[in-house]
Every structure is written in C-alpha cells, then in structure tokens.
Chains A and B, each alone.
Chain A
Amino acid sequence: KAGVTQTPRYLIKTRGQQVTLSCSPISGHRSVSWYQQTPGQGLQFLFEYFSETQRNKGNFPGRFSGRQFSNSRSEMNVSTLELGDSALYLCASSLGGSNTGELFFGEGSRLTVL
C-alpha cells in the first residue's frame, strides 16, 4: 500500500515568488492535513481538509492557502514568499470522518526561500 506522497521533495524559491506543494494521500483516505515545521516554532498546524471542504485552519496569514480535489489529493499554496517561510511542509492523511484514526505523514517538501 503506497504511503503519502509529497512533491516536490525539495525546492528553492526567492522572496516574493509563490509556490505550490502537492500531496497524494493513501488510497481510500479522505482527510488531508498540512503542517509547517521550522527549528524555531516546531510543528504547526496549517489546515485540514475532508471531502474537499476545509475543516479547520491554523493561525497563518492569508498568503497560505490550500485545497482538496475530488480524488482527495491536496495542494497548498504560499504566495509572496518570505524568508521565514523556509520550512519543511508535511502532509498527513487519514480515513477521516470518525475523528479517531491515526495520521499518516509523508516525507515532506523542504522549501528554502532566498
């Protein structure tokens, strides 16, 4: 059974640019969550989607957005990149719905903003 797949794994951008990260959940999983991991702030929740609807959102500026498609794949977008957006972005999937399932994480997309 394939795990959570995130693309790209590594990317370098410059300030002011935008970036789109992709996440393919485990087959059959309907819930996708995104987290930002930085050395200073640790793991912080970005947003969560279930059946194409945003179910919860973390405390991040509007430059951070996401969406989920009908096949449960998800993308997140960061516009007008800042140096502080450099981080490992982790996606997690779960069956969803019952609120009791464990989250399965991908290996992340490591973004460097220059």
Chain B
Amino acid sequence: AQKVTQAQTEISVVEKEDVTLDCVYETRDTTYYLFWYKQPPSGELVFLIRRNSFDEQNEISGRYSWNFQKSTSSFNFTITASQVVDSAVYFCALRRTQGGSEKLVFGKGTKLTVNP
C-alpha cells in the first residue's frame, strides 16, 4: 500500500523567514512519482512540481526548492524568504508509474500561514 505522511499540520512564520514542509512516503514500488500541490482558499489544487523516483536531483524554482532523498523516503519542500501570498495548504502526493492509473495518494496537508 502507498502512504504519504505530512507530520506538520500547521506552520506559522513571519514574512521573509524560510520554511520547510516535510513529506515522508511509503511505497513498495521501485518507480513512482512524487508531487507537491498548493491549495489556496479558493479551493483548487495548484500543481507545483512532479519528481520521478529515479531522478534524485534537487530542484530550485525561484523561492521554491525541493529536496528528494530516496534513502529516507522523503521529499521536502522549502520556501525561501516566505511571503504572505504563500499562505495556503500544501499537499505532498504519490503516484504509481505502473498500472495505467493517475490516482494520487495525498498526505493530510500542511497549513502554512505567513504573517506580515
């Protein structure tokens, strides 16, 4: 079975602080995809990143960076110099590469509040 754990339920920071959102996953598959989505108050899930399990290279996109460590089954997300607009619920998700389905298994999410 697949499982995603986001141990941090809520995080509150002050603007310009750096913040890291943790994600730990479980799967028996040897290949899989990992995702991060952002959910603003409007409700829709906004895609942030997809990482294939065989690509452990870390990625940086502006103020966002992701650290994928297969050895510890973690895919952490860091926001540098946080801004109020970063306030949202962030979800980590896992998907199989086999079977033809695009089903996502989500973590429970981390609610990030960035205060001015």
Contact = CB atoms under 8 A, between A and B. Distances in A.
Contacts of A35: 104, 106
B51 to A, nearest CB: 12
Contacts of A106: 44
B72 interface: no
B101 A56 contact: yes
Nearest to B52: A100
A96 to B, nearest CB: 7
A88 B43 contact: yes
A55 B101 contact: yes
B104 A107 contact: no
A42 interface: yes
Contacts of A101: 102
A105 B44 contact: yes
Interface string A32-62: 0101000000111100100000011010000
A103 B102 contact: yes
Nearest to B35: A102
Contacts of A108: 43-44
Contact of B109 (A3, A42, A104, A107): A42
A96 B43 contact: no
Contacts of A58: 103
B97 interface: yes
Given A42-B109, A55-B101, A106-B44, 19 more contacts: A33-B102, A33-B104, A35-B104, A43-B91, A43-B106, A43-B109, A45-B104, A48-B101, A56-B99, A56-B101, A90-B44, A90-B45, A96-B102, A100-B33, A101-B102, A103-B102, A105-B45, A108-B43, A110-B43
Interface of A: 3-4, 31, 33, 35, 42-45, 48, 55-56, 58, 88, 90, 92, 94, 96, 99-108, 110
The 9 A-B pairs at the shortest CB distance, nearest first, are namely: A105-B45, A43-B106, A56-B101, A108-B43, A107-B44, A42-B108, A107-B43, A102-B47, A105-B44
Interface of B: 33, 35, 37, 42-47, 50, 91, 97, 99-109
